[in-house]
Amino acid sequence: MHRLRLLGLLLVLPVLLTARPFMVVVYNVENLFDADGLAMFEDYQPARYSKAHVLTKLQNITRTLALFEKGRGPDIILLNEIEVDLTDGVALPDYEGILRRYSRQNITDMLGAGFTPEIGDLPAEALLLKAMHDAGLKGYTVVRPENVKSPDSKGALAQRCVVFTRFPVKHSRVYPTLDARPIHEVLVEVDGAPLYLFNNHWKSGASNPETETARVANARTLRDRLDEILRVDPNADIIIGGDLNSQYNQKQRYPRLKETGINDVLGSQGNELAVRGATRDLYNLWFELPPAERGSDVFRGEWGTLMHLIISRGLYDYRGVQYVDNSFGVAKVRDLNMDDKGLPIRWSFAGPAGSGFSDHFPIYAKFTTVRDNRADRYLSLRNASVETAPSTYSVDFAKVDLAKVALDPTQLPAGVSLRDGSQTGKIFRVVGPVGKGRRLTVGVGGDYYDVWSFDKDLRDRLRKEHKAGQTIRFHGELGQYRGRWQFIIRDASWVK
């Protein structure tokens, strides 16, 4: 009897001691709106945003998430810019019930021939859950926060943060904050270990001193809640993610900001060993990468780090959940969500079904569970980071291999047009006559396109040197601005 009991314990013990590795992904999907035709943003109303556009966005988000865990998808996803559904009832949707109800239809049919008013009533996150389920990314609980805002905030909330998780959810709470989406707290249990998730989308305008006031308030909302948790357990396992609309080195990058939300109030910092001390309890995972590789978005030719994963000291100890050292990264894949210039392929409305992914690359990190139950022992680090001098990295467009990636606009496949949306963001070898008028334009295939550069000196020089009717030659990135088609010259080296 004792031998049988001992054998049973030996069989069970390895299972109990097995670590549970998992992935966390943070992804701003650039406005995933539903298919009901009702939207606060004009761009997502029926004149520009159709059911085919919804399907393209869903499929491309799903393709991106399928990059992880061999197509299975990450176990935790913190999503930003999911539409606040204008047709929502009072109760939360029954997401599992929605999957059962449409189990005999796939998302393509639901947004195509099989579309019904009931499908139009489904919120964006339910459509995404279905698209992911169809593609084999299954087993998620959708945790959607209440649509609440601070009484001092201006305007209505058009977007929300949403969490997808495969782990049991213990509670979900929201904290209204000034002029931004409410901060969403989700407590999950990872093999018995509590893990706090905080999904954020702070006020926009990273370099603007006026909007930094709101981000300071956003950070204070979050910091106050973190302090409550850490007073009870200084080594609580906490992951902070989302679009903070702040650079990881906000205070150094914009010295005119007297106080920053992310660095001064929240306390995000880059000395990895300092989290073991009593005062610097948060570490920003951007410091895991070399400075030149820190970037998930681009604004005016400079890399930005608006998306964040920030972790607490508890994720370095040997109790509960532990960060996997040096596992942080940016999910960018050429021929998927990254273009020939190395930039995010952002969403485009052009064409009958739209195209593109998001103006942000997703970021990710790996974690695991540990069984030592030692909050007094810390993970041994390889190349522990320290805070570096302020750095700003511009995209080096001169390094683009134009001979390899540039296309000839006169040699497109049959049925493909420069203006059907499929070519947006691609680089072309442009040769054509300069058009009449004050704007610098070029004729290609019978249509005229604006010629633009963010370099004002280059713009002025090109305008001065090229008169109407003369031939102009350059490499340009095809795009649209306020409904006008244009070729963007990203670097002076792109002009022949």
Tens digit of each residue's pLDDT (9 = 90 or more) over 313-352: 999 999 999 999 999 999 999 989 999 999 999 999 988 9
- Convert the pLDDT of each residue in 120-142 to its tens digit: 999 999 999 999 999 999 999 99
Of the listed ranges 229-238, 449-458, 477-486, the one predicted with least confidence: 477-486
Write down the pLDDT at residue 1: 40
What is the mean pLDDT of the segment spanning 457-470? 96
Residue 385 has pLDDT above 50, yes or no: yes
pLDDT value of residue 121: 94
Region 86-96: what's the mean pLDDT? 84
The pLDDT of residue 90: 61
Q: What is the pLDDT of residue 14?
A: 47
Q: What is the pLDDT of residue 10?
A: 43
Q: Is the pLDDT of residue 391 over 90?
A: no
Taking CA atoms, 329 is separated from 21, 152, 195, 294, 335, in Å, by 16, 36, 21, 9, 18
- Per-residue pLDDT band for 9 (boundaries 50, 70, 90) equals very low
pLDDT at 6: 40
Predicted TM-score (pTM) of the model is 0.91
Rounded average pLDDT over 237-246: 98
Among 371, 233, 234, 363, residue whose Cα is nearest residue 310: 363
Q: What is the pLDDT of residues 283-324, one digit of tens each?
A: 999 999 999 999 999 998 899 999 999 999 999 999 999 999
pLDDT band at 390 (very low <50, low <70, confident <90, very high): low
pLDDT for 285: 98
Which domains does the chain show, CATH number per domain? Answer: 20-378 (3.60.10.10), 397-494 (2.40.50.330)
Average pLDDT of 9-28? Answer: 74
